[in-house]
Structures are given as structure tokens and as C-alpha cells.
Structure 1
Amino acid sequence: MQPSQDYAALRRDPEYGQLNQRLLEFLALGGPRRLLDIGCGDGAVSEVLLGRDPGLALTGVDPEPGLLAEARARLEGRAEFHVGDAASVERLFPPASFDSVVMANCVHLVEELPAALGAIHRVLEPGGRLVFNSAFYAGAELPAELPVYAELIGAARRAARARGLVLDRSAPAKTPGMRRSAEDYWEALAACGFTGITHAEESFTFSGGFLAALCGTPMFASAALPGIDRNVAAELLRESLQKQQQKAPVTVTRRCLYFSAVRA
């Protein structure tokens, strides 16, 4: 899993946060008692969960120590936090330590999905539930929205060439996680021993603020302008977006994928 500090601006976007609210509805009725929040970042989702149930025993894991410091300050002793990623949880916690695991908007950052799901399976108790979501997968972009992304990326690439910057055409267009489909997630869950697998897809409309935050993420900036320093790529993309917005407000609609699965 990539350092989530790179995704902090996107996570803090209020429209993007709506996806998390829907995710939490997929937790088991009656609510979890011992929950692991993987990719917890600065604790925003953890805070929502504790607001719903102050008696919840909550543990957060994230690869970025700086964000975990923010989470600890936000929750003031109401949860415990550890440095780690999805694949490391079986080294951090004994088997069957939790009855619920949440991964909010970060499963597409997991590079080795089978290893991560296997580790999660082992720290869940029998009957425990895993829920996760992603707005970055094969099928997330609606066909009608593709021209918006094409115009944004095309303008940024022209600006890059005007600066004398050279794109690396051999680089992959998308990270492995963004190329996964709903079927890929379903098959991976089943292969790791999860049962009761269900999924849903819902659409959300985002404004330019979401796109500006998206432009700064490694997965988007590096894919849009491969071979160019990611910070420079993000700058060019934001400049391109700003020019688009001067002509007319920019919005995009994306699908979000939701999964729920149970450890047998």
C-alpha cells in the first residue's frame, strides 16, 4: 500500500467523504465491537465509527506515521493506532483479533491483493466481516465522462511539452489496483476463504474540488503524465483544470464499488 500522505487532500475532500458514509452501512447489523480500520489515515472514518458507537474498541493501521499522529490527536485516546499496511496486519495482531475490518477508499492502493486479503482473513474471527470500497477500478469512469478527463490530461501534456518535458510512453497507463474489476475482487475474496460475498455499485457526482485533489495523487498524476516528476505533473494538471473551470464549471460522475464479505 502506498503512503497515504500522498492521498490526504483527496481523503479530506468533503464530496469524496460521502463514499465513506455509504460504506459504513455495509457493516453487520448490530454493529461491530472490535474493529480494525486499515488505511485509516488521519482518523476521519475512525471518528465517524466512534461517533456511532463510543464503546467500540477501534484500532487503526496506516503506513504513514505523520497521519497517525493526526489520528491520535483527533481521537484523544479513544482508539489505538499502528504503523502498517493491509498485508502486515497478521504480524501486528494475533489471529481472530477483530470482528470487523474496514478499508475505506484504499483497496486500489494495495499492490499484492491476495496477500493482503489473506492477512485480513487471519485477523478476523470466524463470522467476522470485511467491508471495503473504491472509486478507482475498471468501470469507475462513465463513458460519457471520459472526454472531461481526456481534455484535462491533453492540456496538461501540451503544457509539459511546451516546457520541454518528455513523457515516458512505455509507462503503464494505470496502476494495478486501478485496473481491477468487480470480478477480480470477488474472485480474490473467494480464493482467500471469504464467504457471503456481496457487492454494489453506486454513482456519485463530484465538482472541481474533487478533481483538483485527484490531480495531486500519485496514481493519477503519474498515469496522466508518465515519466514526469509527480509534483510537476500535479501542478500541470491543476493548471489545466483551472483553465477548464474558467470556461465552465467542471463536474464528473464516477461509480463507486462496495464489497462486503465474511470469514467462514
Structure 2
Amino acid sequence: MNVQADTECGSSMNGRHTSSDYAALRRDPEYAELNRALLDLVPAGATPTVLDLGCGDGAVSERMLLRDPTMTLVGVDPDPALLEAARARLGGRARFVEGDASSVSRLFPPGVFDIVVLANCIHLVPDLATALEAIGQVLTSGGRLVFNSAFYSGAERAADLPRYAELVGTARSAARRRGLPLTRADSRRPAGLRRSAGDYEAALEAAGFKAVRTEREFTLGPRFLTALCSTPMFAGAALPGVDRHTAAELLTEALRELHERSPFTVTRRCVYFSATRA
């Protein structure tokens, strides 16, 4: 198994997994820290109209409204259950609509949003060019698109790859001891995880955006990694052929065992883009 290629977190905003499969990861405080820096890129004032795309249960929407209560906010997500949670969280302070990145130009009139935010979910978008075109249509002239991701090609440090391999190897050994069937891993990496930061820059330029890119490093510990182990992409890639929930349990046990030997952390680079539509 190519651990770097196959055990990252990812899915599709239009794909077979739903956003609720990643709810535990989104609730993780370290994961929230990845998004906190993104909110600093969201312009405040002038009563903006904001689209929180891939809004999940509305946690980032709530943070934006706390920062700027004057904004008009709409959240979009493909998962109805999470949209219900977002409505329960925010009541009448925001409106929530079912959809995905590529559908926003069909859901909303042209030029209706001043700002579009994708908080650590751009890697879940399978067709980036189509999504950026749709986003560009619903942004005002001069409108701002901001997004980030810690799950892209080049996000991981080479020095940390043995840590991922050790985690997966320990869990696979435990699965074999239980007599669980392990099938051959699929070596194909999801499209969103094959993209590099440079790929995002090129796609933004092709879609008519002028972008500024920044990066930050984050050290992530067992709490974050436990939440990551529960996701379908990580669990399924690490222990193919094993029931996802059993795989997550085995990975969590392996993580605990390794952390008892020595502190188990990894460092990832999170990339941030602030892009203006021409």
C-alpha cells in the first residue's frame, strides 16, 4: 500500500460518501484550528452576503456570524442531515440549501454573493474547474473566494510518512490476528488528493481569479488522528475488505498502542487561498 497516496482524508461533495461521514473530524479542535486562520481571510464590514459552501453542521457559519453579525449568510451542503443540524444551530440567522459546489450557479442568481467560503473541503470537490466556474458566476464582480486544505499533494512531510505506515501496519497486523479478510488496496488516489497547491493556483487563474496563497504548518496529535481514522477514506484504504467501523476501531487501538510507546504526532501544511474574481 502506498500510505501517502491512499490513507488521506477525502471524499466527494457529489460522491458515495456523505458529509456526515466526516462529522467527527470536523468536530476535532485541532481540525477547527486549520479553519480558524481561514476566517481571518474573510473580509468584514459592509454587510456582505456570504456563501458557506460545504457548510456541514454550520460550525464555520456560526463563527463567521459571530465575527460579523451584519452579514447575510447562506450555507450549502449535500448532506440533508447536516443541514438540519445547521438549521438547529443557527435558526433564522442563516439560510441553508442542499447542493454541491458545481450546482451553485443553478441554485442562485448570478452575482448574488460578495464572498464564497470553502472551509477545508475543496479537496472533496471532484471537478474543480466546473466548481470554480459555478462559483465565479454567483460572485459579484470583485467578489472574494477563500478556501483552505490540509489534504493535498505535498501537505505531508516526508519525515512523517513512516508514522502513517507504522499506524496502518500495526492495525493490519491486528486484523490478521483476528482472522479478518484483508483485500488488496486500491492504489488510485482520489482526484482531490492528487492536486497540489500549484494545481489550485493554475485552476484559479484559468477560471479568471487573481489569487494570493499562504501556507501554515500544524502539528496534529492523537485526538485529530483518531477522528481521521473514523473517516471512510482512511479506514477503507488502510484496511481494505474490513468493515469500516471495525477498521476504525483497529486503527484507533493501534494509534493508542503507538502513542503509549512514544508521543504520536504528525505535521501537515495547510494551504490557504484568497482569490478575487476579475
Equivalent residue number for residue 9 of structure 1:
24
Task: Tell me which moved more, 208-217 or 219-228.
Answer: 219-228
Q: Corresponding residue for 1:206?
A: 220
1:177-226: CA deviations, max 9, x gaps?
112101111111112221x2111111011121000000011222222223
Q: How does 1:94-243 map to 2 (within 5 A)?
A: 94-169=109-184, 171-172=186-187, 174-194=189-209, 196-243=210-257
The residue number in structure 2 matching 1:26 is: 41
CA distance in 2, matches of 1:156, 1:185: 34
Please report how far the alpha carbon of residue 145 of structure 1 lies from its aligned counterpart in structure 2 after TM superposition: 1.4
Is 1:49–2:64 an aligned residue pair? yes
> Whole-Å Cα distance in 2 between the matches of residues 122 and 130 of structure 1?
12
| Matching residue of 2:88 | 73
May I ask how many residue pairs the two structures share in their alignment? 263
Structure 1 segments (4+ residues) deviating >4 Å: 29-32
For the residue of structure 1 that corresponds to 2:143, the secondary structure is strand
- Report how far residue 60 of structure 1 moved: 0.2
Number of the residue aligned with 1:85: 100
Using the size of structure 1 for normalisation, the TM-score is: 0.94
Gaps of 5+ in 1: none
Which of 240, 243, 246 lines up with 2:260 in the alignment?
246
Taking structure 2 as the reference length, the TM-score comes to 0.90
8 Å contact kept, 2:185–2:237: no
Q: Is the CA contact 1:199–1:260 (under 8 Å) kept in the aligned structure 2?
A: yes
Change (3 A) 1:232 1:175: farther
Q: Residues 128 and 236 of structure 1: is their aligned pair in 2 closer, same or farther, counting only changes over 3 Å?
A: same
Deviation (angstroms), 1:54: 0.8
Q: Is the 8 A contact 2:47 2:70 kept in 1?
A: no
Structure 1 residues 13 and 227 mapped into 2: Cα distance closer, same or farther (>3 Å)? same
1:231: how far off?
2.4
1:30 positional shift: 4.3
Q: Deviations over 1:10-31 (max 9, x none)?
A: 1000111011110011223646
Change (3 A) 1:74 1:170: closer
**164-173 vs 29-38, greater mean Cα deviation:** 164-173
Q: CA deviation at 1:170?
A: 5.3
Contact 1:37 1:46 in 2 (8 A): yes
SS of 1:77's partner is helix
Alpha-carbon distance, 1:160 to partner: 2.4
Give the Cα separation in 1 of the matches to 2:47 and 2:206: 25
Quote the Cα distance in structure 2 between the aligned partners of 1:208 and 1:11.
Answer: 15
Q: Which amino acid aligns with 1:114?
A: A
Q: Root-mean-square deviation (CA), in Å? A: 1.6
